[in-house]
């Protein structure tokens, strides 16, 4: 058990099953509020993760539920995803997500020491937390190609975008920690700190671009200096986000 400030961060178990519904409801309403997609999960699925000891749950000092995250394995355990991170709105911006992600990362390393750990996110907060743990941004081709994982995206509002891009790209940014080949957390953290302004802009451009699949490119503008700048940005976008 980890206690920081007034929060308890625990590996979930049978005693937490009653919180499954509130967790699922909060995941759904938060996704709606943000206008982003989400791979929907049922309360039974969340309960199964709790029973298996593959989830982390947070409470405040009065035992009020504060947050949650769970582990999924893919490609016969070659990959592990830390998914479904959610913090109760009343406890946000207090470091709860950071504590949960640290705990679930440690649990993943303990249960699956050989596995590559990855996550998909649309948000800068999670990119920041992941960077502090040693994750780096990768293209989708470096993630598990397990059909069952990608099938989980079917319930997301952005699934059509994912398929139109042949599963090479979507609204989410992919980040990965490879235990056999990784940067030190200090390096990935520094990279994020130095580049976060650019990453935030790239995220916005990427999401705007993915929403405009029929945008026509006018080749006449190729000699226009402004368009050359756009072309350079495209190559950077391609490197990070496969655009």
Ligand X SMILES: CC(C)(COP(=O)(O)OP(=O)(O)OC[C@H]1O[C@@H](n2cnc3c(N)ncnc32)[C@H](O)[C@@H]1OP(=O)(O)O)[C@@H](O)C(=O)NCCC(=O)NCCS
Contact residues toward ligand X (CB under 6 A) are 30, 85-87, 92-98, 121, 123-126, 128-129
Shortest approach of ligand X to residue 239 CB, angstroms?
A: 22
Q: Closer CB to ligand X, residue 73 or residue 131?
A: 131
Q: Closer CB to ligand X, residue 94 or residue 179?
A: 94
| Pick from 168, 31, 154, 131: nearest CA to 89 | 31
Shortest approach of ligand X to residue 91 CB, angstroms?
A: 6
Torsion angles phi and psi, residue 181, rounded to 5: -155, 90
Q: Are 146 and 218 in contact (CB under 8 A)?
A: no
Q: Closer CB to ligand X, residue 85 or residue 104?
A: 85
Q: Closer CB to ligand X, residue 121 or residue 188?
A: 121
Shortest approach of ligand X to residue 229 CB, angstroms?
A: 27
Q: Closer CB to ligand X, residue 51 or residue 128?
A: 128
Query: Which residue is nearest to ligand X, using beta carbons?
Result: 97
Shortest approach of ligand X to residue 95 CB, angstroms?
A: 4
Shortest approach of ligand X to residue 216 CB, angstroms?
A: 33
Q: Closer CB to ligand X, residue 33 or residue 215?
A: 33
3-state SS of the chain?
CEEECCEEEEECCHHHHHHHHHHHHHHHHHHHHHCCCCCCCCHHHHHHHHHCCCEEEEECCCCCEEEEEEEEEECCCCEEEEEEEEECHHHCCCCHHHHHHHHHHHHHHHHCCCCEEEEEECCHHHHHHHHHHCCEEECHHHCCCCHHHHHHHHHCCCHHHHHHCCCCCCCCEEEEECCCCCCCHHHHHHHHHHHHHHHHHHHHHHHHHHCCCCCCCCHHHHHCHHHHHHHHHHHHHHHHHCC
Shortest approach of ligand X to residue 87 CB, angstroms?
A: 4
Q: Closer CB to ligand X, residue 187 or residue 221?
A: 187
Shortest approach of ligand X to residue 94 CB, angstroms?
A: 5
Angle between helices 96-111 and 124-133 (to 10 degrees): 50
């Amino acid at each position: 058990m980890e206690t920081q400030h007034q929060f308890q961060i625990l590996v979930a178990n049978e005693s937490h099953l009653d919180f499954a519904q509130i967790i699922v409801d909060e995941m759904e309403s938060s996704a709606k509020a943000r206008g982003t997609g989400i791979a929907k999960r049922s309360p039974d699925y969340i309960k199964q993760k709790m029973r298996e000891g593959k989830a982390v749950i947070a409470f405040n000092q009065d035992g009020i539920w504060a947050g949650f995250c769970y582990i999924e394995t893919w490609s016969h355990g070659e990959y592990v995803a830390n998914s479904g991170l959610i913090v109760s709105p009343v406890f946000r911006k207090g470091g709860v997500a950071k504590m949960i992600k640290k705990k679930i990362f440690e649990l993943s390393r303990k249960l699956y020491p050989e596995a590559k750990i990855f996550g998909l996110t649309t948000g800068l907060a999670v990119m920041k937390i992941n960077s502090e743990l040693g994750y780096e941004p990768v293209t989708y081709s470096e993630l598990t190609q397990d059909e069952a994982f990608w099938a989980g995206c079917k319930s997301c509002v952005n699934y059509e975008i994912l398929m139109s891009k042949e599963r090479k790209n979507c609204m989410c940014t992919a980040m990965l920690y490879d235990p056999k080949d990784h940067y030190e957390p200090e390096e990935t953290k520094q990279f994020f700190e130095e580049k976060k302004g650019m990453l935030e802009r790239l995220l916005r451009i990427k999401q705007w671009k993915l929403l405009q699949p029929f945008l026509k490119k006018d080749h006449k503008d190729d000699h226009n200096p402004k368009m050359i700048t756009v072309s350079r940005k495209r190559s950077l976008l391609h490197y990070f986000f496969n655009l």
